[in-house]
Structure 1
């Protein structure tokens, strides 16, 4: 398998898939795999879902693109569904999560301008990941910030995730310049790190008190992955801005930035735009995904099977000498190890037929489709456990 014509940005495993169905994928040799990562939290309703396939086939034969110079009916339908579910008022559609976060950062800048702040600051979190554009890299923290991308744009204040005292201290030092807080309710790329209980609610109250925008990156944790439509709903709050992508259209590229009326009104015609954002195909796909999640009870299933998977992993791996922690919420689970373990991706796939992901070098990340059942939970537990047995013991 040659990758000579591709830019050297990925390190793909020597496996290529030809088709999928539900939670399963098949490679070019006909071997079957259980997909426990869903394309990194993308194919939430599974591969080749018949309702989505039918909708896409019909839409491809009707209309793909007209541009945002004209009203797009499916865009309006999707916006109505998302705002209802999120408790927010307006949406801007993008093509990716990074673009959605760029939209949120633009709103923060405009919010600062409206308040007369010449050099606004956005509070972000250590170990966060918000995308790979220059702006979202600047808001992120970790290995993606390589020396080659020095002098990134934007003014950000990075604080320890989950530390309210640090937020209070930053307010005392920089409160006159801060205009927003951007964070993930569950940090995904850093190894599935959920916010401490009560933290999101406290940040919401802090933002309200100081007139800041609370902006939540739900690109990985949203769309039912935690057992609620959005992870913030577990704490009974509503932010000012929410960003989505990944599981929104089950593999068709789309991103969305949702906002309250006050935040959304900072945009005016011509102040932001996208050629492809919100095209009929992507929006119809997303509408169909939302309908499937509702009709098939996948929020409840994610909560049920996620709780079952987390409990079973803790039982099976709790005493493992190389397992540091097993954590997560719903079907968003991380298994932190005491040593680098990227080779587990190949071992689990090649030897046990289970597709997993390793993030930040030492954490197994599990993001299976929301359609997972009890038997497949056991398959994941067995595959991960047996793959771990292949790791050499640390000295």
Structure 2
């Protein structure tokens, strides 16, 4: 089944983007009309089907896709969906990071070439700008698209599953996004799945987040990456430079997870373990091999960890700080299991043991800050201050 999918992502600097119901309806109509205009002029003899996600009629994109596959319509289907079509667990997480999925369009049963896809992308961008430009003049319109030729397996939400043959190949309309000819490729299982790096191509204002979900062993590029790991353990997530959001997955029975933020302002989120395992947090590129959160470079790093607990044991996390670590925050530090490791004499301070460390600690409510010298600070947010003891600190 030939499929072309278009993923539209809206992003606003410094704030989350929430389209209203009226804006979503206006956007869906504009998108459908723009794409329908391109396809109807290109394929005048084909039947066209347009559907919006409409809770009042009970008609949704998944039902339409199923019907199209089983009935084999000799035409195309345009489905414009707002965020209600996506799992809130996934969509809500990305909203918190300032990313929102505005719409998903899937066109079925057409053999499209790159020139047609380019025309659709340009029409799509213009439709979004005309619909939302007056309300959100600072909104960047980002479009990534992929053409898959041949048969393809599609996994739909719930119990629905449609199976096809092998994929013949992938052609990207946004090809050659860099000098070496690499392509911008977006795979979409009718849900949020993967988006690889994109740069400006064909004048379409492509400034995309780098996003990969549910894969073991991920390395981001120099841009702003979102890396989401699996639950199997023993994986490496490396954001490299840029402002990265790294989610470690977790709650696996075994495995040691290594998370490296790289340079830039990073949010590191680690998963827990059912058994007594630990995670290695590398808030920036470490200068030495340490089994901990290596905070190095003048960033504002947010280190967030989640610890599982049951009868078989608890996971524990070690956060290591060296000189010039910047301003760092650790969320959900567990006094019973976690530890901060500090290099003696850090930033030319007198911190060498627990008694000298105490002189550099200030407490405000449930937050505890440690002045590491030279304007370098680590703050434990929402910590059980009364539960802290000497075992929560070590010196190397």
Q: Same fold (TM over 0.5)?
A: no
TM-score under structure 1 length normalisation: 0.24
Higher relative strand content: 2
Higher relative helix content: 1
| Larger relative contact order, structure 1 or 2 (CA cutoff 8 Å, min sep 6) | 1
